[in-house]
Amino acid sequence: MTTQPKALTLRADFPGLLNPQGQPWHYLDSAATAQKPQVVIDAISRALGADYATVHRGVYSRSAEMTLAYEAARRRVAQFLGGRENEIVFTRGATEAINLVAQSLGAFGGLANLKAGDRILLSTLEHHSNIVSWQLLRERTGIEIDVCPLTDDGRIDLDAAEEMLTPAHKLVALAHVSNVLGSMLDARRAADLAHSVGALLLIDGCQAVPRIAIDVAAIDCDFYVFSAHKLYGPTGIGAMWARAELLDAMPPWQGGGSMIDRVTFEKTTYAPAPQRFEAGTPAIAEAIALHAAIDYVEAIGLSAIHEHEAALVRQLRGELGRINSVRLFGPEDSAGIVSFALDGIHPHDLGTILDEENVAIRAGHHCAQPLMDHLGVPATARASFGLYSDESDIAALLAGIERTQRIFG
């Protein structure tokens, strides 16, 4: 097995990879949230310190400079996704972005104006944020939700989707990479299928953006959302890319400062997109830190990150596959994620014992309870890699599993 030598040297960039005693911490929960490189920590520290001021409102020089930095972050996100600056809306994360789309498309006067009788297609493996948001809209408008099944190896079954889609479908919302199985969507085919019946396509890119180069034009989707904290950036901020014509036609979903043109008690007119979707004082320092995170990741190279993680996935799946009591989930080529279960041992018990061994994994339903039902398990153990992961993390995990089996044996 060949591991990218460059990635092995990057652990020093991440102060969070040491425990309080200064020993290496084997962090295998990057799918939940990635550790932060020092350059991102420094960027947010500067933004909250010597550089801090509000944006868009002040006439003094520091406010103007901070506004330039904030809008530069928007341009950087647009470049990262292959879109244009006026197509990027900052949100608190992917969850808020999906809710934004659901609420705005469900509003009277919206472009799609989702209403009773309209249908939305999701898949079995979706994160709760890409399920509950639409269920709330269903309760309010009477839309119907259809669920696309999975293939035997845990991919969204686009052949089945093709059979299910009808002109009544107005939106398709799918994960680019499963947060449990690591399976990757053929996003361009999904777009073609959605558009063939006149539906819009929203893609949840949370697990894709840390390891795959995204080009929304090549995908031909209509919305693309992600959270910064999975991309080695801060929590509390994410972004939504949407086609300009969609944003221009969508009504705002929250009211307040920054999203207005003029306010009177008789009538309010709204700012153009994307500003009209960003009510209130924004996450200024977080946006600037997201800019730094994107610069950091792209300096390493997404293809190098993906290859490095893929090698680790192959190694771990191979090692786990030799343990008779282990059940593996998802495809062999899962993207940075390995979910598994140990016979007779609850994932929470495994996670607790691994913590004693200085190993951090995620144990539970991973905000994907319908997928757990499909897999026939209450929970799984999930080891997920980042660009800083290496073979020592796998060795520590396997040693912890062996200890757990001895305890429960």
Task: Give the catalytic positions in this structure.
Answer: 367
DSSP track, 243-301: -HHHHHHSPPSS-SSSSEEEE-SS-EEEPPTTGGG--SS--HHHHHHHHHHHHHHHHH-
Q: Give 36's strand partners.
A: none
Task: Give, in order, the Cα–Cα distances in Å from 350 to each of 118, 150, 312, 317, 359.
Answer: 44, 28, 21, 17, 10
Please name which of 347, 375, 275 lies closest in space to residue 71, comparing C-alpha atoms.
275
d(CA 143, CA 39): 45
For tokens 């913590």, name the residue. 355
Please tell me the total number of residues recorded for the chain in this structure.
409
d(CA 390, CA 384): 11
- Residues 278, 89: contact at Cβ < 8 Å? yes
Q: For 301-384, where are the alpha helices, taking DSSP H only?
A: 302-321, 347-356, 369-375
Assess whether the previous peptide bond of 274 is cis (omega < 30° from 0): yes
CA 101 to chain centre: 16
DSSP 184: B
Task: Give, in order, the Cα–Cα distances in Å from 258 to each of 42, 152, 299.
Answer: 28, 48, 33
| 315 Cβ contact list (under 8 Å, min separation 6) | 1, 391, 394
d(CA 265, CA 252): 18
